[in-house]
Structure formats: C-alpha cells, structure tokens
Amino acid sequence: MIKVVDAEAWLADLEVETVRTDAVQAFLKQETVFVRLTTDDGNTGVGYSYTIGTGGSSVLAMLRDHLLPRLVGADAALVEQAWSDLFASTRATTVGAITSLALAAVDTALWDLRCKRAGEPLWQVAGGFRQKVPLYDTEGGWLHLGTDELVAGALASRAAGWRGVKLKVGKPRIEQDVERLSAVRDAVGAGLDIMVDANQSMTHAEARRRAAAFEPLELAWFEEPLPADDVEGHAVLARSTTIPVAVGESMYSVGQFRDYLARGAASIVQADVARVGGITPWLKIAHLAEAFNVHICPHFLMELHVSLVAAVPNGRYVEHIPQLRAITRSRMRVEDGHAVAPESPGLGIDWDFDAIDDRRLA
C-alpha cells in the first residue's frame, strides 16, 4: 500500500498570454487549482485543473472541504479506486463542472505519482502509442483579429510545418465568416487543415446555414456549433453536412460522450482532461471514441494533453494554446509540426513553484 499522508490544494491566478475572444466570451485569466499529494514513501504528485475566470474558489472549496480529507489514508496506487470513491462521495453534485474540475486536480496528481513511481512518462504509462503527435494552432484565429491577421497567422503556422489552424466563427453575418475563412484558404492552399469553432453560439437553423456556406472550403471540422446539451441538434446537423462535427470541451462526463457517439452526433471528440474529471475518465472517453472509429482532439491544456494524445491510437491533434509558460520551467517540444510528449517521469510538467506562489490567491 502507498498511503496518502498529506493532501493540500491552493489557487493561483494566471493572466492569459494573449488576448483571446470567441463568439460568446473573452478569456481574461486562468484560475488554476493545484493539488499536491504526499505518500508515506516520501513521493509527491502535483495535479491541476482550471477555469477561465470564475469558479476557482468553488473548486478549491470542494477539494478542501470534501475530497482531500477523504483521500488522506487512501492507497495512492489504486487510482481507479480513489477516483470512484471520491466520485461516489459527491453524487449530490455530479455530474457537474465544479465537481469534475476538483476531481481532475486530484486525479492528475495521482497519475503524476503513479508515473513517478514507475519511472516512466505519462504517455507510456497511459498507453504508449507514439511519442509525436500533430499540432494545430488556435492562437492566430481569435474572433477579434482582422482578416489580414488571420492570414498572416495561418501562413506562419504553415511555414513552421504545423498541420492545421483553427479560426473562430460566429460573426454577426454569414458573409463575414465566409470572407475570413476564404481568405485563409486561398492563402494557404489545400495542404493545411482549417478548423472552425463557433463556441456554442448558434441556433440549429443558423448552424445549418453556415455549414452549407462553409462546405466548399474543405474544413477539417465544425466545432461546437450548438449548445453542448443539444445532442439531437448535433446529430441532425451531422447528418446534413459533409463537415465533421466536433464537440467535447464543454462536456463533463463519460456518459455525455457516450450519448453523442451513440447518436452519431460527433465525428471528433474534444475531451478536456480538467473538465471531465481527470486522466482516468479521459482515457475511458478516448477508448470509447476509438470503438466508434472517432478521433480524439482534446481542448486546451497542451502541456498535459500532448502525453494523452500520444498514449492512444485515435489521438489526432494537440491544440496549441500556450498558457503555462509563466509558471513552468519546461516547454512543450515541437518538431516538424508535431508536439513531442515529455520523456521525464510523471506528467512531464516542471512547475516553477516560486512563480506559482507569486500568483497565489488562496
């Protein structure tokens, strides 16, 4: 038995590295929740999750008041057991965002411990399919950027050897979206994947109109066109367009992904390890998607997701949105348009705890 003898959580406020806007919101800061677990053999594991500006203190309260006291004394080697026990203890608040974000901070810390004890990197312990995975860029595609800026960003990504770029859509008029996307496609040609993301901003009728207008542009996927709880709407849309429909960043349980896949409502799943409750459920979602012959291309958290995408056979892309550089000593390696999963044991993130403490809120 590897007993957890100490469990602590804290909250740090991390400013965004660049201005980020989409059709419904602006990403102004990252509230980052950390968990550190210490075991009786002297090892420590650090995990984390995040919000994009609100709710961090609520996640912290869930950890301090409910999850971490229950975890002390548990066997850190039994990760599935720990996750299931904590989930069962919070049934009154599941499935819900606050609980899932709190579970993720604990679960990633447990996986950090598991990998360190094994002396192996996360991408190998979680599956070990391959070490390099294709990379696409979102930082050059935000909605407030002008057409010339979108084109310049896409050309820079292509020149760097990256495999794709994602552009935000949801301008007030359909022709505005089409003009922006067409300019980028004309500039980069057919050799670069272009993804678009509506951030749940559209009605079903508008999503069908825009999908029809976007089809000549040969897009890699149409992301979150409708509210995340509209499974039927996504299923109908998926049947009406040749553009793959992508969903998942705003979903919080394995069951939600099961419903989408069973209904044919998603051609790409984008599970975010923080939002689904950690690495343990993330891997279940990835393998579920594989059973439906569907790729997984996770949302955000590139420093962690690079290892998970590398772990599974159906991992297709890592999303480039750097956000941790101010509080880490490590950087994600990029080679020939591919993100390279870290080789160091654990999650592969070298935290700068002095920098984190400077941003600590609670």
Count of domains for the chain? 2
- Tell me whether residue 243 is in a domain: yes
pLDDT bucket at 65, cuts 50 / 70 / 90 = very high
Out of 234, 299, 320, 338, which one is annotated catalytic?
299
DSSP β-bridge partners for residue 340: 132, 333
Q: pTM of this prediction?
A: 0.96
**Does residue 206 share a domain with residue 94?**
no
Residue 168 included in any domain: yes
Provide the terminal-to-terminal Cα distance of the chain, rounded to the nearest Å: 32
* CB contact at 8 A, 47 and 106: yes
Looking at the structure, tell me whether residues 103 and 249 fall in a common domain.
no
| Co-location of 175 and 255 in the same domain | yes
| Each residue's pLDDT tens digit, 288-344 | 999 999 999 999 999 999 999 999 999 999 999 999 999 999 999 999 999 999 999
Domain that residue 149 falls in: 124-340
Residue 346 lies in a domain: no
Kindly state whether residues 74 and 160 are assigned to the same domain. Answer: no
Please name the helix (run of DSSP H) or strand (run of DSSP E) that holds residue 260, with its range, or none.
Answer: helix 254-262
Alpha carbon separation from 338 to 65, 134, 310, 346, 350 (Å, rounded)? 41, 4, 11, 21, 20
The answer as to whether 345 is a domain residue is no
- Per-residue model confidence (pLDDT) at position 254: 97
Q: What are the distances in angstroms from CA 5 to CA 44, 73, 112, 133? A: 10, 6, 16, 37
If asked whether residues 186 and 49 sit together in one domain, one would say: no
C-alpha–C-alpha distance, residues 95 and 253, integer Å: 7
What pLDDT, on the 0 to 100 scale, is given for residue 95?
A: 87
pLDDT band at 239 (very low <50, low <70, confident <90, very high): very high
Q: Give me the mean pLDDT over the 267-271 stretch.
A: 98
Cα 273 to Cα 293: distance, rounded to the nearest angstrom: 20
What is the pLDDT at residue 157? 95
Domain identity same for 197 and 184:
yes
Q: Are residues 298 and 331 in the same domain?
A: yes
Q: What is the pLDDT of residue 26?
A: 79
Active-site annotation holder among 168, 234, 295, 305 = 168
Give the per-residue pLDDT at 245: 98
Please report, for the domain that includes residue 285, its CATH number.
3.20.20.120
- Distance of alpha carbon 223 from alpha carbon 273, whole angstroms: 18
- Whether residue 320 lies inside any domain: the answer is yes
Please check whether residues 26 and 102 belong to one and the same domain.
Answer: yes
Q: Is 132 a catalytic residue?
A: no
Of 28, 30, 38, 32, residue with least CA distance to 12 = 32
What's the pLDDT score for residue 84?
97
Strands 26-39 and 44-51: antiparallel
With respect to residue 22, please indicate whether it lies within any of the assigned structural domains.
yes
**For residue 15, pLDDT beyond 90:** no
95 shares its domain with 206: no
Looking at the structure, tell me whether residues 208 and 166 fall in a common domain: yes
pLDDT more than 90, % of the chain: 92
The domain that holds 68 is classified in CATH as 3.30.390.10
Q: Could you tell me the pLDDT band of residue 220, with boundaries at 50, 70 and 90?
A: very high
111-128 mean pLDDT: 98
Q: Is 29 a known active-site residue?
A: no
- Does residue 318 sit in the same domain as residue 288? yes
Residue 348 maps to a domain: no
In a domain, 347, yes or no: no
Q: What is the dihedral of CA 159, 167, 52, 37, to 10 degrees?
A: -50
Whether residues 298 and 328 share a domain: the answer is yes
Instruction: For 131-174, write each residue's pLDDT tens digit.
Output: 999 999 999 999 999 999 999 999 999 999 999 999 999 999 99
**Residue 362 in this model has a pLDDT that exceeds 80:** no
